[in-house]
Amino acid sequence: MLLWVCVSDTFDVNSLAKSIVEASPKKNDDTDKPPLDRLKKLVSGRRYLLVLDDIWNNKELHRWERLKVCLQLGGMGSVVLTTTRDKRVSEIMGADRAAYNLNALEDRFIKEIIEARAFSSEKEKPAELVEMVGEIVKRCSGSPLAATALGSVLRTKTSVNEWKAVSSRSSICTDETGILPILKLSYNDLPSHMKQCFAFCALFPKDYKIDVKKLIQLWMANGLIPKHKEDSLETIGQLIFDELVSRSFFQDLEKGKKHWEYYSRNTCKIHDLMHDIAMFVMENECVVATMEPSEVEWLPATARHLFLSCKETTGILNESMEKRSPSIQKNTAPCVP
């Protein structure tokens, strides 16, 4: 049994157990039972490979033992593989001896990624621009995400001077700065209305499945979509979303099955580093509250949007919060029972 779950910044045992169960094609339907009990039933006696991708919040890993007890019920030969950018995470999870440090991608692979994003087809590869790809490759320092971001920026540039301008503005990735300067460049290259639409996505938690239709409706409700005489706001919003997808701001697009005759739920996600860019731009305007009410006891006076993913929202939206931010806009999402 193969299971893949993205963890990101919150290591909540119940949420993670639920995600593992939902990732299985053999998931049980005991949705009324606690997530850890469902997980025990799923893995008990079965051989599995579980990938916990992108764990980086080492402050919450004391909860790992609760999850580990359930996972140890798996069959002989079961394996848990974790990925992280924080060495302390692997040490806490007891995998420091078996840790494998991934090397940067070779330049030839980075070159392939950039060319695939920057040029529409083999026929549309001007020789003078192809010659410049080598210099762009150096800016990425082996990071596929940086290559994807830069290639997406270059896709909208057609002259040597425009490519040179991008290259000169691209800070080289380093251990100190990471690839955020390059990702910020891809954000800065957006038209102003698209910048606002993408930055608004800081409202959602990392690795959250965003309903595309609802996202466009939120853009409309907040006046982020420019009006056009010939097209409706929904149409323009869809065009903005499609352009952001083509520029690699959204990923993991999924077309859902039709729930009703006229509606299907299409979803997307944002890479966690792209999410960091949105958070950087929005600063303290967006606040996310997940499991614990205490997380939002301190609410910045600048907060305009609040995303709630909790069992009870009334306890969190207390008088002190409402007094502190009377014009706050609230969005809610279901929480693990």
Judge if 198 and 249 occupy the same domain: yes
Gyration radius from the chain CA atoms: 22
Judge if 221 and 316 occupy the same domain: yes
Q: Is residue 51 part of a domain?
A: yes
Mean pLDDT is lowest, of 64-78, 122-136, 167-181, 205-219, for: 167-181
pLDDT above 50 for 192: yes
pLDDT band at 335 (very low <50, low <70, confident <90, very high): very low
Q: Is residue 29 part of a domain?
A: yes
125-145 residue pLDDT tens: 888 888 888 888 888 878 888
pLDDT band at 235 (very low <50, low <70, confident <90, very high): very high
Instruction: Output the CA–CA distances (angstroms, integers) from residue 59 to 12, 89, 90, 205, in the order listed.
Output: 11, 9, 13, 18
Judge if 220 and 183 occupy the same domain: no
* Residue with tokens 């409202």, as numbered in its chain: 203
Q: What is the reported pLDDT for 73?
A: 92
Tally of domains in the chain: 3
CB 255 within 8 A of CB 264: yes
Please tell me which residue, 287 or 191, carries the higher pLDDT value.
191
Judge if 196 and 309 occupy the same domain: yes
- Residue ending a domain, among 188, 203, 234, is 188
pLDDT above 50 for 322: yes
pLDDT above 60 for 334: no
The range of the structural domain enclosing residue 273 comes to: 192-332
pLDDT band at 109 (very low <50, low <70, confident <90, very high): very high
CA geometry: angle at 235 spanning 234 and 237, to 5°? 65
75-86 residue pLDDT tens: 999 998 888 877
Judge if 174 and 205 occupy the same domain: no
50-82 residue pLDDT tens: 998 888 766 666 678 888 889 999 999 999 888
Neighbour-count burial for 282-297, b at 16+ CB within 10 Å, e otherwise? beebbbbbbeebeebe
Q: Is residue 100 part of a domain?
A: no
Please tell me which residue, 27 or 164, carries the higher pLDDT value.
164
Judge if 175 and 218 occupy the same domain: no
Q: Is residue 97 part of a domain?
A: no
- Residue ending a domain, among 42, 59, 92, is 92
- Residue ending a domain, among 129, 163, 188, is 188
Q: Structure pTM?
A: 0.67
| Rounded mean pLDDT, 114-129 | 82
Judge if 234 and 319 occupy the same domain: yes
| Rounded mean pLDDT, 237-265 | 80
Please tell me which residue, 324 or 164, carries the higher pLDDT value.
164
Q: Is residue 169 part of a domain?
A: yes
Tokens of 252: 């993991």
Judge if 114 and 177 occupy the same domain: yes
Cα–Cα distance for residue pair 329/131, rounded to 1 Å: 49
Q: What is the reported pLDDT for 304?
A: 64
Q: Is residue 98 part of a domain?
A: no
Judge if 287 and 173 occupy the same domain: no
Judge if 206 and 273 occupy the same domain: yes
Q: Is residue 319 part of a domain?
A: yes
Please tell me which residue, 284 or 35, carries the higher pLDDT value.
35
Judge if 220 and 327 occupy the same domain: yes
Q: Is residue 279 part of a domain?
A: yes
Q: What is the reported pLDDT for 123?
A: 65
Mean pLDDT of the chain: 78
If DSSP states are collapsed to H, E and C, what string results for the chain? CEEEEEEECCCCHHHHHHHHHHCCCCCCCCCCCCHHHHHHHHHCCCCCEEEEEEECCHHHHHHHHHHHHHHCCCCCCCEEEECCCCHHHHHHCCCCCCCCCCCCCCHHHHHHHHHHHHCCCHHHCCHHHHCCHHHHHHHHCCCHHHHHHHHHHHCCCCCHHHHHHHHHHCCCCECCCECHHHHHHHHHCCCHHHHHHHHHHHHCCCCCCEEHHHHHHHHHHCCCCCCCCCCCHHHHHHHHHHHHHHCCCCEEEEEEEEEECCEEEEEEECCHHHHHHHHHHHCCCEEEECCCHHHHCCCCCCCCEEEECCCCCCCCCCHHHHHHCCCCEEEECCCCC
Please tell me which residue, 306 or 25, carries the higher pLDDT value.
25
Judge if 250 and 323 occupy the same domain: yes
